[in-house]
Amino acid sequence: MMKAFLFPGQGSQRRGMGEQLFSRYPAYTATVNDILGYDITTLCLEDPDRLLNQTAYTQPALYVVNALTYIDRIAHEEKPDFVLGHSLGEYVALFAAGVFSFETGLQLVKKRAEIMAAVKDGGMAALLGLKMPAVEKILQTFNYTDIDIANYNSAEQIVISGLRTDILAAQKNFEASGAKLYYPLNVSGAFHSHYLKDAAENFGEYVKKISFSPPQIPVIANVSARPYTAALIPEGLTRQIASQVKWYESVSYLICQGDITFHEIGPGDVLTKMMGFIQANPLTAAEMNIIPPKPALKVADKVTTGSNGSVYPLWLKNFVPVNENGSPVAALQLQATQLGAESFRQTYGVKYAYAAGAMFHGIASQEQVLRLGQAGILSFLGTEGLTIQKVEEAVQYIKEQAGKEIPYGVNLWSHPERPETEDQLVALFIRHGVKNVEAAAYLGLSKAIVYYRVKGLYKDAGGNIVAGNRIMAKLSRPEIVEIFLEPAPKQIVDRLLEERLITAEQAEWSQRLPMADDICAEADSAGHTDRRMPYALLPVIRRMRDEAGKKFSGKYQIRVGVAGGIGTPESAAASYLLGADFIMTGSVNQCTLEAGTSNSVKDMLVEMNIQDTDYAPAGDLFEMGTKIQVLKKGLFFPARANKLFDLYRRYESLDELPVKDRTQLEERYFKNSLQTVFDTLIQQKDPAEISKALQHPKYKMSLVFKSYFSGSMTAALSGNLEIKEDYQVHCSPALGAFNQWVKGTALHPWRNRHADEIAMLLMLSTAVYLGDFFTSLGSSGIPPSRKTEQVLTGSVI
């Protein structure tokens, strides 16, 4: 069984704490006295000047006692599997994880305490008996815009923070609204609120001077309720001062990891008492949008074969020929690895000419990318809809967990209306050495994508120009394909050179090779789609590629693959027979254990068939009427989304809507008045957008309608069962075809599905299908020897 150590924060101090520790660890005690400039033993045991409850003294004292308690504890038992601390306690957790020394931690805490103690006139109050939605509604109803939620400690234990006068004035309204207890805390500042923003920035300057080591034990961060990565520790400690402590989610995250016990390390039992409430009603993995860890492999589930310890699922024998030891027959493995372009496998260092495409909002998750990469399969992290911070955390996670270089890439979504988003992503890619990018939704080349491409150019030892930053462009329009077949636009390159972002050599080299290494012909797919037929699209793009290649004297041969509709061996085989250099899957990976969507969505997806999708307007391109392909079985979203676009097209403002339609929208779609929906948007949107909406009624209608789309996506990702019928789930018939293929087998339940095993199954089964296909041709007059040669060498496919 795993164990986690919990370190309490401010509020757990009491006179007499550490009584046995100071004499037991005199060296540490002397060091503390030198750093603090006063006697820690006298402060904690006697507190003659009543300083122990003052922030400047409380925080260092608690850090010392908690840390010494930990040192004493691990002298007699094994270190824990996880550590986390509440607010100030997080510093002890980081010390326990080896991120910094005892002395460095104390210096950090001393500085933090001094900065926070300087903040005056603040107040905090603990609330009992109200859940988070209720607290948020009260804050909104009474227009308490200057009060923040500071601590989310359990389902019905929340702490708010603000000016002391505001906190005291709010008591009557919270109690009248159902709070069982409203208890103002004895603090001097509005800790963990926006009032501490300047203090956080001040502390951040100090943190920059500190060197941090990677955690040796996972530390759950207060700010994110997820494990810290080394790169995010400075930012996390800086943000923590003015950000909410997500204690409820942090503990729930650990509960989701499996059998675990919790031990409070420090004075008092505040966290222990809190644990009872959390364990009785923890947040679920679906509510937190996390993937529970996979159970250990059982002999009955897997077989290990070969000298390299390769592991294959037992169910594989139901699909392809296997040896006595459960591994696919050697000839079949060879055939699967020879499908498609050899240069694809060499360039990316992968086993198959196969890629798993990015699904936005992190559905193509960091866990999925890591698992596929460790299996030697290329995949792309889905970034559209994620914050830059989330993307960076995911990239860091992949790099740190892999422990070595693995094949992976990251999605780069076109944002012509927000070029700064692309700029930030590309800067992140370059900073972290991301070498492969999946470019999507491009109608033209941006400065950011050109910069990414050109910045990676270099010459190898043989004097050849090498593209260190590779681009795979997902495209469905020939006129856009043409842009990626050409060198980088010279006018953009010249701007980059003027701004000294690239060298003169890179500028010159950029004109001697195309913008893309690979083009993925995107046929009718999940989400945004032009509804192209792969059998029409792929040959056209291949011919364009062949013609463009002449400009580069055959030196840079762009590969052309295909995506959309691939969920069975037959569809994969058809793609290779059409000349695809690689295939890309999408929807089939959304119904796996690693996919970053909710369990309730996966429960729906696993039961879908090929007829269970429909087309609806895209929320991000709502005004244009651009379509996305979504799941329709059991959902109202497609019909309601189309109805909203129809109303938008027919009317010029919300006021023009017929009473019947307006009532339907308010009662069924938004479950609130349209004016209330807009009032909420005023708090969320950029002031410029709101100003535009107030001046242009049609734009206001668009903002209100689009909030349905964002809400339906959020509900699906989080698994909000209250509005399940409105889930927006991007999906193509490929998943329905896959479901029918594996129906009645061990792969029917989605909890048995893993993205890397699906890739292996598709490639091996495709090789079997093609072998049978060419055998049938041989019996019709094609010599079997020629057929065997073609299958093994891939010369016709």
pLDDT at residue 783 in the model: 46
The Cα–Cα gap between 149 and 133 comes to 11
Q: How many Cβ atoms sit within 10 Å of the Cβ of residue 762?
A: 26
**Mean per-residue pLDDT pooled into runs of 10, the chain (797 residues):** 92 92 94 96 95 95 97 90 96 96 96 94 94 95 95 95 96 94 89 95 93 92 91 91 96 91 93 90 84 49 63 86 86 92 95 94 92 95 90 91 90 90 95 95 94 95 92 94 96 96 96 95 85 89 91 82 94 95 95 90 93 91 87 93 94 95 94 92 88 94 93 88 90 94 90 93 95 74 44 39
Phi, psi (deg, nearest 5) at residue 164: -60, -40
Domain 122-190, CATH: 3.30.70.250
**Under CATH, which architecture does the 2-116+195-283 domain have?**
3-Layer(aba) Sandwich (3.40)
Token pair for 774 = 């060419």
The answer to whether 630 and 597 have CB atoms below 8 angstroms apart is: no
3-class DSSP assignment, residue 9 = coil
The answer to whether 358 and 382 have CB atoms below 8 angstroms apart is: yes
Closest CA to 619 of 759, 478, 716, 511: 716
| Cα 547 to the center of its chain, rounded Å | 39
Provide the phi-psi class of 333: left if phi over 0, else alpha when psi is between -120 and 50, else beta. alpha
Name residues whose C-beta falls within 8 Å of residue 624's C-beta, 6 or more positions apart in sequence: none
Domain extent listing, the chain:
2-116+195-283, 122-190, 599-740
The answer to whether 513 and 551 have CB atoms below 8 angstroms apart is: no
Residue 87 among the catalytic residues: yes
The Cα–Cα gap between 789 and 158 comes to 70
The Cα–Cα gap between 351 and 346 comes to 9
Name residues whose C-beta falls within 8 Å of residue 632's C-beta, 6 or more positions apart in sequence: 612, 613, 614, 638
pLDDT at residue 312 in the model: 86
Q: How many Cβ atoms sit within 10 Å of the Cβ of residue 38?
A: 14
The Cα–Cα gap between 40 and 716 comes to 52
The Cα–Cα gap between 190 and 196 comes to 7
The residue type found at 310 is S
Token pair for 160 = 């708010």
Phi, psi (deg, nearest 5) at residue 95: -60, -45
Q: How many Cβ atoms sit within 10 Å of the Cβ of residue 463?
A: 6
Q: How many Cβ atoms sit within 10 Å of the Cβ of residue 491?
A: 8
Token pair for 722 = 């209250």
Between the alpha carbon of residue 793 and those of residues 335, 337, 343, 581, the distances in Å are 8, 10, 14, 14
Q: Write the burial class of residue 168 (CB in 10 Å: 0-12 exposed, 13-18 middle, 19+ buried).
A: middle
Q: Write the burial class of residue 101 (CB in 10 Å: 0-12 exposed, 13-18 middle, 19+ buried).
A: exposed
The answer to whether 343 and 571 have CB atoms below 8 angstroms apart is: no
The residue type found at 70 is Y
Name residues whose C-beta falls within 8 Å of residue 569's C-beta, 6 or more positions apart in sequence: 741, 762, 765, 766, 768, 769
3-class DSSP assignment, residue 151 = strand
Interhelix angle for 784-793 vs 755-778, to 10°?
160
Token pair for 162 = 């603000």
Name residues whose C-beta falls within 8 Å of residue 164's C-beta, 6 or more positions apart in sequence: 121, 122, 123, 190
pLDDT at residue 188 in the model: 82
The answer to whether 199 and 241 have CB atoms below 8 angstroms apart is: yes
Give the single-character DSSP code of 669. Answer: I
| Cα 157 to the center of its chain, rounded Å | 28
- Which one is catalytic: 86, 161, 188, 192? 192
3-class DSSP assignment, residue 4 = strand
Widest distance between CA atoms in the chain: 102
3-class DSSP assignment, residue 551 = helix
Closest CA to 95 of 107, 112, 111, 113: 107
Token pair for 681 = 């948007």
Closest CA to 13 of 84, 66, 74: 66
First to last CA, the chain: 51
Provide the phi-psi class of 553: left if phi over 0, else alpha when psi is between -120 and 50, else beta. left
The answer to whether 731 and 629 have CB atoms below 8 angstroms apart is: yes
pLDDT at residue 789 in the model: 42
The answer to whether 123 and 148 have CB atoms below 8 angstroms apart is: no
According to DSSP, the residues that pair with 122 across neighbouring strands are 163
Any idea which residue has 């007059």 for tokens? Answer: 781
- Which one is catalytic: 12, 87, 587, 707? 87
Give the single-character DSSP code of 328. Answer: B
Q: How many Cβ atoms sit within 10 Å of the Cβ of residue 536?
A: 10
Closest CA to 615 of 514, 732, 697: 732
Torsion of CA 751, 754, 757, 761, to 10 degrees: 60
Q: How big is the CA angle at 154 (ends 149 and 159), to the nearest 5 degrees?
A: 30
Between the alpha carbon of residue 322 and those of residues 299, 331, 789, the distances in Å are 17, 10, 22
